[in-house]
Amino acid sequence: MKAGSPSVRRSNEQAWLITGPLAVLAIVCSFVLALAGPPPPGNLFGAVAIFAVMVATSTQVLQVVVRRQALEVIVTEIPLVLAFYYLPPLTVVLIAVMAALVGQLRRRLSAPKVWFNLARTAGAASAAGAVLVALPRIEGAGPKTWAILFAVVNVNSLISLAAISAVITLLHGWQAGWELIRNAPAPQVICAINAVIGLVILMAIESNLWSVLLIAVLAIAVVLVYRSYAQFLRQHRTLGNMYELTRAISESGQEGGLVDALLDRVRALMQAEYATLWLPAQGRHPEVLLSARLDDRGLLDVALTPSIVRERSQQSGRTLAIGRAFDDDEDVRRALSKHPVKDVIAVPLRSGQAVVGTLEVVNRLSDVGHFTAADIPVFETVAAHVAVALENSRLVDRLRHDAHHDTLTRLPNRRRITGALDESVKIRAPREVVALLLFDVDGLRQVNESLGHAAGDKVLTEVANRLRASAPSSALVGRAGGDEFLVTLRLESAEAALELAAQLRDQIRDEMVFDALTLDVDTAVGVAVHPDHGSDAATLLLRVDLAATAAKSVPGSVQLFNPALESRSLRRLGLAGDLRRALDQDELEVYFQPKVTLRDRRLVGVECLARWEHPAHGTVAPEDFVAVAEHTGQLSRLTEVVLREGLRRSRDWALADQPLPIAVNLSARTLIDRHFPDRVQELLTEYKVPAQRLTLEITESGVLDGTDRPIPTLQRLRDLGVRLSVDDFGTGDSSLAHLRRLPVHEVKVDRSFVQGMATDPGDLAIVNAVVTLSQQFGLAVVAEGVESELTLELLQDIGCEIGQGFLFSRPLPYERLAAWFGAQVEPESISSGELPRLRVVP
């Protein structure tokens, strides 16, 4: 319930504090009238006639509702003028009280109100009679009489107004009483007009008694006209209220305060004590049960009526009305008997054909007011507007939710995370950092291509569920897009962020079972923290992405951002344009690194390696400009430059009686180019180099990506006679058994294992296993990174055939390679037609 200052409300029983003094006033004034006034009853026929007229006029009531009470403006002033003229004042008091009693009994008011109204009528009439007795005696129907009767009738009205104001102030506070007094001039003017009408009728009767007939006809006509006018006025007011309600709904719906503006205006429009909105739980929307009540600012989260009222209306899809003017539903009537409800209308709210809730109003204001059949169409129209407004509000809410959440995982998206991160970094807390963790799911592309996107969606959903369940309750978990998830929260330090990232990664790594398939899903995790790594959300997101990219180079790692990552990324970005220019102007060079048989040190080939000396940045690492080439579409040109240079040098060596095979590295992307084998064939033909002298090296992750996409290209290359080699073997997750289905000739053991052989028994065992199994599969084995005599001896012992590394030679440009040939190759091995043999291994 919204906070508000409730109005003062007391029990009706306390009305005796006003009723008692009024009764005393009536008794005192009546005693004075009995002593000083003419003796009752006076003209009995006239008394009966005036009593009948008073009862009749009391049924024509103009009600002005003030909070729970109705201010009644009754045309009893007209018969009062006649009564005070023709009858003794004490008789007038008795007639007025009896007429009031008939009216109270007819309306079935509560006892406190009956007694108050009787005391008010008696007190006002007796006080007016006392004023009449105190004034000069009435003689004839002249102006003097008009003034006396006008004053007497207005005294009666003023005392009634004072009594009503006093009781409303007592029960509902001084604000309510002041509101009534402030609105009193209009009713008092009506009372004065009624008194004048009464005087006119008096003059007509005094001049001719038969004028009573004309007056009766005129009164009936006025009543009929008044009823038509009252109905028109009520319809006009209803249309105005409907317009105001519609405008309020439209304005508040855009601001998000729809229900607040809605219920209070509906309650006011229907002049009800309560207005209740009920929306059952639906989808992500929880149940809504809110009520607006008179005298309360804000909304209550309870309803005055039992749930059967709302449920019956929802289930039947029809309006449910209980009260004096409606046929009773026995079940609902029995349920309402235990609640302070005199009448209720409940209308179903529809969205198309479905019922999405109910709107109900309870207890027409004032004890004399009740809902009627005429109120149902009005309320149903209101409910139709409300249903449309609620549906639009929920639609806007749904669109707003979808704009900030991922449709697959229901997690906040990058926009939502960015907004939350912007808010978090604005709040500086000592000894705390705002941590941002980026989880990049490895191998999702392979899952999509092998099992379909439905399986990939299941993997993403499961990762999202595990992150949501494992992350601290204070963390905001979201999906950045694709296979990336973000987690942001406050922690003590960057070290705590790294520890949390490792824990969450371990939770994600648990095997995932989909139907009969079990998957192992790993992630690379990047970590950035505020304020160390950025002061705004955009910078933190950029840098955590760089950290995650760096983490991919070491499978399953957790990488904290450091400035070196950004400088490398910026450098790569700047190299994009320079690489195109370098390719256009032949600025890239091709270096050659010898490949040697380990047993007898014979030169069996060279590997062609691209090198780039940038005029501003100096030597650019191959992994940097190859990555730039892949992302800028220059990869095919770069590959062709190396192929052309390698084939040209191979042709030249053959013409010089030094035929050497060449090896060229390929990117994984090249294998999905279906035109690449044709291009290789054209280059072999152009340079007249036999296909068996060309070896194409593909990294393990490129040739064994979990799909069959590389196989057609590899098969076509093998059919050309080109040798195929798997480079960097051992760094991925594949096994030698996977190679059996691929058309490859050679395996190159990654340098990280070869260089660790001499010191790490594990690396030695891995190299030994690769060599043994490869030889069983009929594959040649090349050891990369041979840099020491001890490593060479170990490789010889386990039977490795070929090696390359700094022990033999670094990659050399063509001119230096020729000099190296002359210095390292034994001349007799060249003249004899054998493979060139090294003279000395430096």
* pLDDT single digits (tens) 410-461: 899 888 999 899 888 888 878 889 999 999 888 777 777 777 788 888 888 8
How many whole angstroms separate alpha carbon 281 and alpha carbon 319?
21
Answer yes or no: are the C-beta atoms of 663 and 669 closer than 8 Å. Answer: no
User: What residue ranges in 317-353 does DSSP mark as E strands?
Assistant: 320-322, 344-351
Q: What percent of the chain has pLDDT over 90?
A: 13
Which comes out higher in pLDDT, residue 492 or 703?
A: 492
Residue range 608-621: mean pLDDT, rounded: 85
Q: Which two tokens stand for residue 125?
A: 């009439």
Residue range 152-160: mean pLDDT, rounded: 85
Residue range 449-474: mean pLDDT, rounded: 85
Give pLDDT tens digits for 163-182.
888 888 887 777 777 777 77
Q: Does the pLDDT of residue 230 top 80, yes or no?
A: no
Residue range 627-636: mean pLDDT, rounded: 81
pLDDT of residue 321: 86
Give pLDDT tens digits for 186-224.
777 777 877 888 888 877 887 777 777 877 787 777 667
Specify the DSSP element, H or E, that contains 705: none
Q: What percent of the chain has pLDDT over 70?
A: 83
3-state secondary structure 439-475: EEECCHHHHHHHHCHHHHHHHHHHHHHHHHHHCCCCC
pLDDT of residue 267: 83
How many whole angstroms separate alpha carbon 266 and alpha carbon 359?
9
Residue range 773-795: mean pLDDT, rounded: 89
Residue range 17-46: mean pLDDT, rounded: 82
pLDDT of residue 243: 67
List the single range of 135-149, 641-655, 719-733, 815-829 with lowest mean pLDDT: 815-829
pLDDT grade for 65, boundaries at 50, 70 and 90: very low
pLDDT of residue 434: 92
Answer yes or no: are the C-beta atoms of 211 and 204 closer than 8 Å. Answer: yes
Strands 320-322 and 344-351: antiparallel
Place of tokens 């929802």: 314
Residues in the chain: 842
Which comes out higher in pLDDT, residue 294 or 715?
A: 715
pLDDT of residue 836: 60
Q: Does the pLDDT of residue 292 top 50, yes or no?
A: yes
What amino acid occupies position 698? I
pLDDT of residue 368: 55
pLDDT of residue 4: 39
Q: Does the pLDDT of residue 64 top 50, yes or no?
A: no
Which comes out higher in pLDDT, residue 416 or 711?
A: 416
pLDDT grade for 392, boundaries at 50, 70 and 90: confident
Q: Report residue 74: phi and psi, to 5°.
A: -115, 145
Q: Does the pLDDT of residue 642 top 90, yes or no?
A: yes
How many whole angstroms separate alpha carbon 46 and alpha carbon 54?
12
Strands 523-530 and 558-560: parallel
Q: Which two tokens stand for residue 327?
A: 């046929």
CA Rg, the chain, in Å? 50
How many whole angstroms separate alpha carbon 578 and alpha carbon 235?
80
Residue range 544-549: mean pLDDT, rounded: 88
- What are 295's strand-pairing partners? none
Q: Does the pLDDT of residue 699 top 50, yes or no?
A: yes
pLDDT grade for 679, boundaries at 50, 70 and 90: very high
Closest Cα partner for 86 from 36, 51, 122? 51
pLDDT grade for 328, boundaries at 50, 70 and 90: low
Instruction: Report helix, strand or coil for 29.
Output: helix
Q: Does the pLDDT of residue 258 top 80, yes or no?
A: no
pLDDT of residue 804: 93
pLDDT of residue 731: 62
Q: Does the pLDDT of residue 155 top 80, yes or no?
A: yes
Inter-axis angle of helices 635-655 and 676-687, nearest 10: 30
How many whole angstroms separate alpha carbon 16 and alpha carbon 22?
9
Answer yes or no: are the C-beta atoms of 713 and 676 closer than 8 Å. Answer: yes
pLDDT grade for 828, boundaries at 50, 70 and 90: low
How many whole angstroms separate alpha carbon 601 and alpha carbon 802?
9
Q: Does the pLDDT of residue 482 top 70, yes or no?
A: yes
